[in-house]
Amino acid sequence: MDLQRATQAFMDFFPHMSLYAIIRSQARDLGFETSSDIGVMADFMNTNQPFLTGNNSTIYAVASIDLKEDGPTVVEIPPGMYGTANDAAFRYLTDFGATGPDNGEGGKYLFLPPGYDGDVPDGYFVLRSNGHRIWAMMRGFGEVGTGEQALDWFSQRLKVYPLDAPDRTSRYINVSAVGMNPLPPEDGSFFAMLDQIIQHEPTSLFSAEQLGRLATLGIEKGKPFAPDARMQGIFDKAAQQGTAMSRAILYASREPDIQYWPDRKWEKMFVRNTEFIRDSGAADIDARTLWHYQAIVVSPNLISTTPGVGSAYLTAFRDAENNMLMGDASYKLTVPANPPVARFWAVTAYDPATRGLLASDGAITVGSQTDPVVNADGSVDLYFGQSAPEGFEQNLITTNPDKGFFVVFRFYGPTEGYIEKTWVLNDFEKIGG
């Protein structure tokens, strides 16, 4: 009975753990001390930072907010910046930028703690959070540049501070070269971290059913967490089972409409919606796991149906013959002419074990920003493996021959061809190995 309940708790609380693991890693590995510390991946994300399906096509800035520590907190963003803030359950709070309430003009966002009943000043976009911890991720495009230019761009434009301490010093840290581990544990230590979440967050963040299940496992607000050897063994096994179930949901989905095009292997990352609620009102628990086990950040604009707004993501785990993609084989992926994007598209390879960027000896992202060789008809042939045909070297994504891999195809500013499914992406064609 304890094993069954612990396994379900692993599944139910994985989103909470995913956000907490990021925030904890930013403090432990990156040296964040306050919410005013902002990490900038000024030289792009790399394999030392295995964020779940993070990408190395855009420049990220990240901040950790704790309303329990700082009280009402302000995020100031400039015109043209994009981003999202999620609460302690990795639920959507707001977007920043063109898809947020500032409509791309920039502004001040005020995040209020649970139950806050104090004065709310004018001049802010006000968000009331159900939890204390918030993770904010911002992206810059175009003029942001890279390296010191990117760090300088963010330091002059982005601020995070308590409402009552607007002059608090901010630190802007180039974290691109710093290793970190933002992944939730997949062993029994998961439950010790889960207890830390329960102790820190208000009970209102959770359902009574969730808290009741945890109480039977010795995780209860205001009480010490002290599992004996028997329970620690159960926690280890529960984490193993929860991980196995999550991998099955991701890599062998039973969703009948998981494929974006019915005759292609490309799969949706969000099955129905970003609230993970079925039309019947039931929680969409497998869809929730499908997303949170492979990715981070929740926003309705990740499945935008407004042409040119937001972004869209598709995954490929298998080739045209329905075999898993393997690093010791060679593949070709033909991207048809005129990809339906207002901004750009990119294909990135990932490690199935970590769901982070694939460690390899070459490029792991190719897209419209990397100037691939374009065929006479406007299509682009991408190659995956250890080599590409002569003249197509810049179209090569280098895989790791000792591992499998999967890819995410990103559409930034998806247009009608994607939304209406009139533009159809080809499947992976195995050409060697």
What is the pLDDT at residue 263? 97
Residue ranges, comma separated, of all CATH 2.60.120.600 domains in the chain are 267-432
CA dihedral 107, 82, 23, 155 (to 10 degrees): -60
Q: Identify the three-state secondary structure at position 430.
A: strand
Architecture of domain 267-432: Sandwich (2.60)
Per-residue CA distances from 366 to 46, 56, 311, 317, 370 (Å): 15, 10, 17, 17, 6
Residue ranges, comma separated, of all CATH 1.10.3360.10 domains in the chain are 2-12+184-251
Residue ranges, comma separated, of all CATH 2.60.40.1610 domains in the chain are 30-174
Bridge-based pairing state of the strands 171-174 and 37-40: parallel
Per-residue burial over 130-139, b = 16 or more CB atoms within 10 Å of its CB, e = otherwise: bbbbbbbbbb
- Give me 269's structure tokens: 């990352």
CATH class belonging to 30-174: mainly beta
Query: Nearest Cα to 10, choosing from 185, 224, 135, 182?
Result: 185
Could you please state the CATH topology (level 3) that the domain comprising 2-12+184-251 is classified under: VPA0735-like fold (1.10.3360)
pLDDT tens, per residue, the chain with 433 residues? 999 999 999 999 999 999 999 999 999 999 999 999 999 999 999 998 999 999 999 999 999 999 999 999 999 999 989 999 999 999 999 999 999 999 999 999 999 999 999 999 999 999 999 999 999 999 987 678 999 999 999 999 999 999 999 999 999 999 998 999 999 999 999 999 999 999 999 999 999 999 999 999 999 999 999 999 999 999 999 999 999 999 999 999 999 999 999 999 999 999 999 999 999 999 999 999 999 999 999 999 999 899 999 999 999 999 999 999 999 999 999 999 999 999 999 999 999 999 999 999 999 999 999 999 999 999 999 999 999 999 999 999 999 999 999 999 999 999 999 999 999 999 999 999 8
> Which pairs with CB-CB distance under 8 Å and at least 24 residues apart come from 263-266?
264/424, 264/425, 264/426, 264/427, 265/316, 265/317, 265/318, 265/319, 265/320, 265/322, 265/427, 265/428, 266/314, 266/315, 266/316, 266/409, 266/425, 266/427
Residue 91 CA from chain centroid, whole number: 12
Residues 6+ away with beta carbon under 8 Å from 64? 22, 23, 26, 27, 32, 35, 37, 133, 134, 135, 136
